[in-house]
Every structure is written in structure tokens, then in C-alpha cells.
Amino acid sequence: MNLNVDNELMKKIIVAIDGFSSCGKSTMARALAREVGYVYVDTGAMYRAVALYCYRKGWMSPDAMDEQQIAEQVGSIQLEFKLRDDGNADMYLNGENVETEIRTLEMSNGASRVSTLGAVRRELVRQQQLMGLKKGIVMDGRDIGTVVFPEAELKVFLTASAEVRAQRRMQELLAKGETVVYAEVLANVKERDDRDQNRSESPLRKAHDAKVIDNTDLTPDQQQDRLRELFLETVTSR
């Protein structure tokens, strides 16, 4: 289905999608954006790129992080999304395409850790808010409906059981040729959930007015139908 909502009658809105890691937020958000002609922004990619930069600079290792350096330098890291021919966007870090490098388990962990830092969150939230000035945007992350766009017209909180998410994550990593063990991936999913929900800076929370989609037992099509329904309800009720 292709919904052309880019016209005078239907004002553009902001769609904020939050939820646990490996829930399929990005796939769902990207598909909606494409259907309705909106811009899609994957904020996790921004935290991942900052983590990659910190690793390269030696400010971060699997068990340590130089918080002061990161806080002082985060404003000078250049992050940019560039559209590919197929309509998807790649993450660029200081002009370099890092889309593949940021998708490893190591960078998932790095992003989760670097995202606990207030200075990093403030800088990335500032950049994300600028991206939404013209609306017509679908943004996914952990704090989009609560911090980045608390006034978003449509907020969705996506969830699924940790076991189902670990299975999906494992398939993705295997497909990329990474050697992974289910128990480790599950432990990693739970560790990230714990960190995302319990950090003091903008912890992952469902916004009070967010609509919940639990996709544990939903097919991708059913999930997309539900999101499309919510989107249409929102734009037509305005």
C-alpha cells in the first residue's frame, strides 16, 4: 500500500517509536516512513557512531570509558545520515560511511554504555530535535516520545519478550557471519534492557500517552497493519 499523505489536507506529524532493543523498531519505522513519504531517523545509529568514535580514540574499551573526554568532545563529532539509491540511509561519522561497522555486538554494547552519559544525550537530542522541525518524520529510539518529542502526535511503544528478541538478534548476527551463541545473545539483550531502563539519564520509559504494540506473537505484516492503523487514525482525527 502506498499512502500519499504529503498534501495540504493532511498536516504532517511526528511519529515517535520507542521500545526495547531488537524489537524490530527500525524495520517497522522505516517501512512506515516509506509508505507515507516521511523521513526516517534511526537514533540508535547515532549513539552507535559516537561509541565507534570513542573506541577508535581509545576513550572506551569493553570495561572502561573516559567520561570526561567523551563529554568534552561529543559536540565536535559530525554525524550525518545520507540516503542511498534504494531509499535507505547510511550513518556517516565525520564524513566516513560507518553503517556496517556500527552494527556489531561490540558497538551495541558501546552505544548502550555511551548513551548513559548526560552530555552525549543532550547533544544527540539537540540534533534530533532539529531534524524534526519540519515534521513529516518517523524517529525511533528509547526516549523519542518522552524527551526528544514529548509533543509528538503519535507515540508508539514497541515490545516483545526477551527470548523472542534474542532469537531475532541471533539470526541477524548469524546472517552477517558473526559467531554467536544463543545464551550470550540473550544475556546481552537482558543486560541492555537493564541498562536502558535503569540509567539515570532519560531511562527507557513508555510515554503515558504512547500506544503499545507487543509483537511477540505478531507477524511483520500484522505489526505493520497495526502501525498503519494508528497512523491513519492520528492524521485523520486532526
# residues contacting ligand DC (CB under 6 A)? 14
Count the neighbouring beta carbons within 10 Å of the beta carbon of residue 97: 13
User: Cβ closer to ligand DC: 11 or 126?
Assistant: 126
Of the candidate spans 44-52, 64-72, 83-91, 180-188, the one that interacts with ligand DC by CB under 6 A turns out to be 44-52
Residue from the set 115, 188, 215, 223 that interacts with ligand DC by CB under 6 A: 115
Residue type at 196? D
Q: Are 44 and 107 in contact (CB under 8 A)?
A: no
E strands of 21-153, at which residues? 39-42, 60-61, 64-65, 79-83, 89-93, 96-97, 137-141
How far, in Å, are 83, 230, 232 from residue 153 at the CA level? 25, 11, 12
User: Cβ closer to ligand DC: 35 or 140?
Assistant: 140
User: Cβ closer to ligand DC: 142 or 168?
Assistant: 142
Q: How far is the CB of 114 from ligand DC (least distance, A)?
A: 8
- In a 13 Å sphere around the CA of 211, the CA atoms on its Cβ side amount to 18
168 counts as binding ligand DC under rule CB under 6 A: no
40 counts as binding ligand DC under rule CB under 6 A: no
Residue from the set 43, 146, 188, 223 that interacts with ligand DC by CB under 6 A: 43
Of the candidate spans 76-84, 85-93, 141-149, 214-222, the one that interacts with ligand DC by CB under 6 A turns out to be 141-149
- The helix/strand count (H/E) of the chain reads as 8, 10
Q: Are 159 and 213 in contact (CB under 8 A)?
A: yes
Q: How far is the CB of 74 from ligand DC (least distance, A)?
A: 14
Measured in whole angstroms, how far is the alpha carbon of residue 41 from the centre of its chain? 8
231 counts as binding ligand DC under rule CB under 6 A: no
Binding site for ligand DC (CB under 6 A): 21, 43-44, 47-48, 108, 111-112, 115, 141-143, 192, 196
